[in-house]
Amino acid sequence: MRTQVGIIGAGPAGLLLSHLLHLRGISSVVLEKRGRDYVERRVRAGVLEQGTVDTLVEAGVGERLRREGLPHHGIELRYGGAGHRIPFEKLVPGRSITVYGQQEVVKDLIAARLAAGGDVRFEIEDVAVHGLESEPYVTFGGERLDCEVIAGCDGFHGVSRPSIPEGVLSVFEREYPFAWLGILAKVAPSSEELIYTRTERGFALHSMRSPTVSRFYLQVPADARVEDWPDERIWAELRARLESVPGFTLGTGEITEKGVTPMRAFVAEPMQYGRLYLAGDAAHIVPPTGAKGLNLAVADVRVLTEALAAYFGHGSAELLDGYSEACLRRVWRAQHFSWWMTTLLHTFEDDDPYGRRLQMSYLEYVTSSEAAATTLAENYVGLP
Ligand code: APR
Ligand code: PHB
């Protein structure tokens, strides 16, 4: 079997790449370890930057996103007993975000790929990549897929990155001493906009998925298990953290999903080796506080698509050679922003009173200085 681009992983990165390549007349095969049902149900983040929305709409997969996605023109930072709005329309006019679940993006991409006759294979075991220096091919379940290029879109725990010989990659990482417990609940959002809350009990985030479904996150210890968090405990803690301003009451409802996400930052450089190109979580992870993970994956894929179009269209490898460098500027900006948001809003066990004062002082600055708020807004809505 032969294709131009062998794509490992059917997350947002792999599926979008396959679709964008198809629109440029470039063939690909997507090999995914999990079942279709699993990837379509996996609940992840839900904030799409303008550039991400534009890419999906231009690729013809934005119809439901336009209909069901919730446009947001600001977020609230809540701390010290008061809420403070960061107004995007004033600070970064014309730029906003759209709240739409990542698994909805995945569903739309899978539907589009299949409708266009795309080759997306689920439940593929034992994927391995070979010949990265010159003649790349992928093996899986006794089969062999020859390709000209391999795209490693298989997330943080995939096989692509570990196939790069030792000593080639520089790895930068940081683990945070806490995790996020995320839930989905059948209840109308108690706020029109996202609320990022810092309290002495820890961080909490109120997000949403639709007019009838809310999404919440709680800062929890790094070793927290879902079993430690029965529904009543979750609501009590969400109330204690979110009902920290007068007059705000949190609506509660049936919890339909629970999960613990570790908080980690990671970058592998360069994002390429020979004929293997890494995109999305396979190359970098950000803590979710800045809502950048999915958006970075989409940005990588945009760059890789242009590079592959130049390569297959007129044999020019220049953009492919510069792929990693072209992506890493955005990746590191997002790393810094995500670190900054995380540091600003979480409680750290080893924080002394001085550290807490610094944090409060910075929060006050961000919510009172237009320049500082603009920095937050500009990064949150995403670099052009
Ligand atoms: N073989 C085939 N597929 C694999 C393998 C493997 N050995 N290992 C992992 N995969 C698949 C996973 O099952 C998953 O479906 O690769 C896919 C990777 O998808 P994601 O983890 O979603 O990563 P990515 O597409 O880069 O999306 C970016 O944005 O919100 C963030 O971290 C979040 O997933 C999100 C990311
Ligand atoms: C989400 O809705 O899942 C979400 C929103 C904002 C974040 C992270 C996750 O920073």
DSSP secondary structure of 189-205: -SSSS-EEEEETTEEEE
Residue with the smallest CA separation from ligand 2 atom 3 is 45
- Contact by Cβ (8 Å): 366, 372: yes
178: three-class secondary structure by DSSP: strand
Structure token digits, residue 97: 């975000």
Q: Which amino acid type is present at position 56? A: L
Residue with the smallest CA separation from ligand 1 atom 19 is 11
Looking at residue 349, what is its pLDDT?
86
Cα–chain-centroid distance for residue 192? 22
Residue 384 has pLDDT above 90, yes or no: no
Cβ–ligand 2 distance for 102 under 6 Å, the answer no
* pLDDT tens digit sequence for 342-360: 999 999 988 899 999 999 9
User: Catalytic residue among 22, 33, 72, 284, which?
Assistant: 72
Q: Residue 138: exposed, middle, or buried by beta-carbon count in 10 A (0-12, 13-18, 19+)?
A: buried
Q: pLDDT exceeding 70 applies to what percent of the chain?
A: 100
Mean pLDDT, the chain, rounded, equals 97
pTM (two decimals) = 0.97
Looking at residue 8, what is its pLDDT?
98
373/251 Cα distance (integer angstroms): 29
Those residues whose C-beta lies under 8 Å from the C-beta of residue 177, and which sit 6 or more positions away, are 222, 348, 349
Cβ–ligand 2 distance for 215 under 6 Å, the answer yes
Looking at residue 383, what is its pLDDT?
86
Looking at residue 186, what is its pLDDT?
98
Sheet with 97-99: strands ordered across: 47-49, 97-99, 70-72
Residue with the smallest CA separation from ligand 1 atom 29 is 294
Cβ–ligand 2 distance for 101 under 6 Å, the answer no
* pLDDT tens digit sequence for 183-222: 999 999 999 999 999 999 999 999 999 999 999 999 999 9
Please state whether beta strands 284-285 and 254-269 pair in parallel, antiparallel, or not at all (unpaired): antiparallel
206/210 Cα distance (integer angstroms): 13
- Contact by Cβ (8 Å): 278, 267: no
Q: Within 13 Å, how many C-alpha atoms sit on residue 190's CB side?
A: 17
